[in-house]
Amino acid sequence: MEEREQRYEFIIVGGGIAGVTCAQQLASQFPSDVVLLLSASRLIKAVTNFKQVSKTLEKFDIEEQSASVFQESYPNILVIESTVTELNTAQHRVTAENGKEYVYGQLCICAGARPKLIQQNNPYVLGIRDTDTAKEFQKRLSDARRVIVVGNGGIALELVYEIEGCEVIWAIKDKDIGNTFFDPGAAQFLLPSLMGEKPDVLLQCKRTKFTTEGGDQQMDSSTTNRTLGSALGPDWHEGMKLKGTRQVFHKVHIEYQCEVDQLYLKDDFLKLKKTAIAFPENKEEEKISKPDNDLWPVYICLTNGKIYGCDFIVSATGVVPNIEPFVKDATLEVIGSGIKVDDHMRTTTTDVYAAGDICTTSWQPSPHWQQMRLWTQARQMGWYAAKCMTADRQGESIDMDFCFELFAHITKFFNYKVVLLGKYNGQDLGTDQELMVRCTSGQEYVKVVMQRGKMMGAVLIGDTDLEETFENLILNQMDLSAYGEDLLNPGIDIEDYFD
Ligand code: FAD
């Protein structure tokens, strides 16, 4: 008979990028130990084709794999699909939904995060997080005439650009689009691409790619835990038809500086005898709202007083770490909404580590790094957590990994390559920062953030080829005062200048 309690030297919770990377690293460090990977999701995420593009920028592919395929490559990793429901740190034990208890020598919690929804349990409010929710979104969109996207982060930006054949109303609380990543200048640079027609040829961008092993039948699992799947990531919509029913190509209206006040289902809204407004077709209609004669399943009332009807709402307003099963054990401290980790990815309790979206870092960061819940950081933290677990187990010391020296992120928005470096938005730099901008409409937008003559961060949109040079300038903190505006002079080959 199988025992109810099993002991493993290493237990990792979570089959996303952070957990899988951590497990892979430990498995290769300790080939004679079995590393247990407990995951709520049936498919796990494996990093493949990893390539260091520059000192801090990295490129890799992501493959969603079944546990059996993954275990073929890593025979000393045991994957068990079961949700962890409880942690008992005094007894070094986790309890899983399958009724079993697992005792750990060292534990790394990598349970990720879930979308923060503007309203729970509303069938017309959708959050996109994993393969299942993305499929559900695609299905709903296929017969939608109008959707409302709420939120201004990366997912919202990608969605409003990708959706076709459907009116999109985009409600953002800020003055400009994409302010998690961009300043107002960059937002203005990108706006025409959102309002205009999309190019036929999509940009081939060297960045993380996402693939799903086995196609549709793999995703359609009734056993998959809908709330706890692994997060999707870059290019998640590639190959997915994001098309509604209307004969329109790309039709987006933005409502700036507003939040969601109320949501009403159709019958409740009709009882209120209020008037919803029609999709503004032009600038004139934006000023003088026309009443909407169509009926919609759900209505959204914004804090600017406007009411729109739609088929469904996508809530893309950030994520909440899945900490609940772990923080029932009071020894684990939480900061922000994540599990607190120190500079060795240790939580506040012995032998328990955390990495990826679930954790909040508490170390004094390098002047050019900040935590953001992104795929690259999930991989880096998972890898570094495994190194720290190994060092602690062997009683060795370990330095902080170089990847935490500089924030570096490559992505693609509105079919432009986007590179963000360091304090790209002047985060926490105070008032003595200076910005230098070079912009060629429709081609490139380059912004550098300077402080006391030194480069602190940069936003590079388009094929600028400046990422390596600027990465070096931020890392080596060379005094650039003498160069002044020549730094961004297109006539000067800046790479030659500093090589
Ligand atoms: P996850 O990938 O969320 O994995 C968590 C794992 O833990 C899952 O396997 C889950 O099943 C499991 N789990 C949860 N609770 C439990 C439990 N109690 N017991 C057992 N297992 C549990 N990042 C970028 O860098 N660039 C982008 O362009 C980008 N786009 C994105 C687009 C979308 C639509 C989404 C949703 C995310 C995007 N991200 C992007 C963010 C990125 O995907 C995440 O930061 C990253 O995947 C986090 O990895 P993780 O391993 O920490 O967590």
Q: Are residues 153 and 93 in the same domain?
A: no
DSSP state letters, 18-61 = HHHHHHHHHHHH-TTSPEEEEESSSEEEEEEEEEE-SSS-EEEE
What digits encode the pLDDT tens for the residues 461-492? 999 999 999 999 999 999 998 888 888 887 77
CATH number, domain with residue 309? 3.50.50.60
How many degrees, rounded to 5, is the angle at CA 431 between CA 425 and CA 434?
60
Q: Are residues 366 and 468 in the same domain?
A: no
- Banded model confidence at residue 2, pLDDT cuts 50, 70, 90: low
Q: pTM of the predicted model, to two decimals?
A: 0.88
116 C-alpha vs ligand 1 centroid, how far in Å?
Answer: 13
Assess whether the C-beta atom of 236 lies below 6 angstroms from ligand 1. yes
Assess whether the C-beta atom of 457 lies below 6 angstroms from ligand 1. no
Assess whether the C-beta atom of 410 lies below 6 angstroms from ligand 1. no
How much is the pLDDT for 232? 61
Instruction: Point out the domain boundary residue: 295, 315, 335.
Output: 315
Assess whether the C-beta atom of 115 lies below 6 angstroms from ligand 1. no
- Could you tell which of 36, 77, 232, 314 is best to mutate to test the pocket of ligand 1, judged by most ligand atoms within 8 Å of the CB? 232
What digits encode the pLDDT tens for the residues 432-457? 888 999 999 899 999 999 999 999 99
CA dist., res. 251 & res. 369, Å (int)? 37
- Domain with 431, as residue range(s), is 423-497
Of 32, 53, 92, 15, which is closest to residue 352 (Cα–Cα)?
92
How much is the pLDDT for 223? 33
Check if the interface score ipTM surpasses 0.90.
Answer: yes
112 C-alpha vs ligand 1 centroid, how far in Å?
Answer: 5
378, 18 Cβ separation under 8 angstroms: yes
Burial state string for 384-404 with b = 16 or more CB within 10 A and e = fewer than 16: bbbbbbbebbeeeeeeeeebb
Assess whether the C-beta atom of 94 lies below 6 angstroms from ligand 1. no
- Could you tell which of 155, 209, 418 is best to mutate to test the pocket of ligand 1, judged by most ligand atoms within 8 Å of the CB? 155
What tokens does 399 get? 């330095």
Type of residue at 448: V
CA dist., res. 112 & res. 39, Å (int)? 11
15 C-alpha vs ligand 1 centroid, how far in Å?
Answer: 9
Total number of domains in the chain: 3
Q: Are residues 370 and 222 in the same domain?
A: no
Residue appearing with tokens 């506040």: 348
Residue having the nearest C-alpha atom to atom 12 of ligand 1:
14
What digits encode the pLDDT tens for the residues 17-76? 999 999 999 999 999 999 999 999 888 988 888 888 888 888 888 888 999 999 999 999
CA dist., res. 145 & res. 38, Å (int)? 41
144, 244 Cβ separation under 8 angstroms: yes
* Other beta carbons within 10 Å of 491: 5
Q: Return the half-sphere exposure (C-beta side, CA atoms, 13 A cut-off) of residue 422.
A: 28
CATH number, domain with residue 493? 3.30.390
What digits encode the pLDDT tens for the residues 353-370? 999 999 999 999 999 999
